[in-house]
Amino acid sequence: MKVSILAAAAALLALASAAPTPQEFDGDFIDSIPPPTAEGAPAGATKSGPDVDVDTLVESTVSDISKRSTISKRGVASDNFVKVFDNWTGSTQTGGYLTFKLLPSYDVDLCATKCLANTGCVFFNIYDETNPAGLLHKCVLYSIASTKGAATNFGGQDHGGVISVKSLSAGYKKKALQEDVPGYHYECFGDASINAPQPGPVDPYMGVSFTTTSPSVCAAACDAKTAYNLKQAALNGTYRACNFFDFYNVYRDGVPYQTACTFYLISYDASFATNFGQKRNGYQYSIGESCGYTRDVLIGVDGIATKPGVIIT
């Protein structure tokens, strides 16, 4: 868990110099949003989530159940999630896909437990898939809440020739979508992202990432950017410190598309949340679940910090 957050933070650093800015949420910015890579669990019984094969997954799921008594706790779904749809014949095919788990049985509570244990998971789709290899119970995790309208993968024959039929597909959305992040406090802006003005000669904008899945990953990246900038400090000892980020979901025609995180030197409140989306190339892009996270302890003066030990003359 710690390792994966650090790896994600390193990946974000690589994107630090992305050119388009979210100001105005304009065409260039929208064009810079990469399409979701994987949108749902693949059909068939021979492959599972990234880099893990089916047997290993089933084995680890089963061993989880026997190791941890909380894993099959009844009521974990109803306590933490709201049912969005059920008894449907399509699985979700949409942005924000994280991974999927094979379950030993159709077990909504177990799938809910998997979602709670996965950083960034706010929605899961559980369904049965029957294919020539037999019956699979799939639990698919997402970082953006989805709808029945996005559950459009009805099986049939896929590119690999696997024929599958789906049943008992149900979607559940996490009750508390906002996430507490240690060291930060947050304010949510609903359906708008931050449009940050540049008040003086210093541009407060520090870049955007679309590889984030949760505010805690963004926070790790924000802190990693600051640490990196400290190492690269100018000769006079000054460097740009990340004090604020806006985490939000991007929807395309109402369907989950990407999660985004924008980084800034200084904190912005709801009065700056004025980007509501935009039409582009025939699609309507909109924003949801936008929350701004500010460091509890701000670094520098308006985000410009000075390396300890440097005397400014």
Ligand X SMILES: *[C@@H]1O[C@H](CO)[C@@H](O)[C@H](O)[C@H]1NC(C)=O
Question: What residues make contact with ligand X under the rule CB under 6 A?
Answer: 87, 234, 236, 238, 312
By beta-carbon proximity to ligand X, the closer residue of 211 and 238 is 238
Give min distance, CB of 298 to ligand X, in A.
18
Give min distance, CB of 55 to ligand X, in A.
31
**SS3 of residue 266 by DSSP:** coil
Give min distance, CB of 202 to ligand X, in A.
8
Give min distance, CB of 96 to ligand X, in A.
26
Give min distance, CB of 87 to ligand X, in A.
4
Give min distance, CB of 151 to ligand X, in A.
14
Residue burial 271-285, b: 16+ Cβ < 10 Å; e: rest: ebbebebbebeeeeb
By beta-carbon proximity to ligand X, the closer residue of 281 and 313 is 313
Where do runs of H (alpha helix) occur along 167-243?
215-231
By beta-carbon proximity to ligand X, the closer residue of 148 and 280 is 148
What letter does residue 312 receive in the DSSP assignment? Answer: P
**Counting Cβ atoms within 10 Å, is residue 31 exposed (0-12), middle (13-18) or buried (19+)?**
exposed
By beta-carbon proximity to ligand X, the closer residue of 4 and 152 is 152
* Strand pairing class (123-131; 163-174): antiparallel
Nearest to 87 by CA among 171, 147, 170: 170
- Residue 126, CA distances (Å) to 110, 117, 211 in order: 10, 16, 24
By beta-carbon proximity to ligand X, the closer residue of 82 and 234 is 234
By beta-carbon proximity to ligand X, the closer residue of 56 and 236 is 236
How far the first Cα of the chain sits from its last, in Å, is 44
